[in-house]
Amino acid sequence: MADVRVDGRDSVLLTNELLAFLNRYPDFRFGESIVFGDASHSEGLAMYPVSGALVISETEDIMGNHESNRQYPFYLVYKSGTGSASRAISIKGLLDSVGEWCEKQDYSAFNELGIEVTEISRQTVAAMDSIEENGTENWTISITLYYTKRWSE
């Protein structure tokens, strides 16, 4: 097996398609959506890639056909001001629900990228990860998208 490496081209394509996929979650309340997380993300729900698209294994047959097994790990982070226990339960429930929804979907929308998504699965349950100095709570869930990429040379 080759060393694990990051595929930058896949990372950009997958990030955009994954955000569109995640925002199809049907049970958002009050116009919620998931944004790409960056330093300016201070409240609400955001996606943070862990490493980008990782090439886990790759094979080539004698005809020059390649098959590559890959994964794209990411976090969903909900940032919220300090709130009540019912607010915390609501945030945890939303993150767990989005994770469960991801596991049960048809992934054919990703086919346009030239990949076959085989699974999206939660690696953790949602939990409070940290509290910032200003009191903002960071609730997270870790999810990984697994996919296969095939091409010929």
Average pLDDT over residues 22-40: 87
Task: Identify the residue whose tokens are 């200003």.
Answer: 134
φ, ψ for residue 40 (rounded to 5)? -85, -5
Region 15-27 average pLDDT: 94
Confidence band of 31 (pLDDT split at 50, 70, 90): confident
pLDDT band at 12 (very low <50, low <70, confident <90, very high): confident
Say if CB 120 and CB 103 are below 8 A apart. yes
Closest CA to 81 of 73, 91, 69, 94: 91
pLDDT average, residue stretch 61-74: 91
Strand (E) positions, the chain? Answer: 5-7, 34-36, 44-49, 53-60, 65-80, 115-122, 127-131, 137-152
Tens digits of residue pLDDT in 71-86: 999 999 999 887 778 8
Answer for the pair 22, 83: CB distance below 8 angstroms, yes or no.
no
How far is Cα 92 from Cα 137, in angstroms, rounded to an integer?
Answer: 12
CA dist., res. 39 & res. 49, Å (int)? 13
Average pLDDT over residues 104-123: 94
Identity of residue 108: S
Task: Compute the mean pLDDT over every residue in the chain, rounded to the nearest whole number.
Answer: 89
Q: In the prediction, which pLDDT does 81 show?
A: 83
Q: Give bridge partners of residue 44 from the DSSP assignment.
A: 79
pLDDT band at 39 (very low <50, low <70, confident <90, very high): low
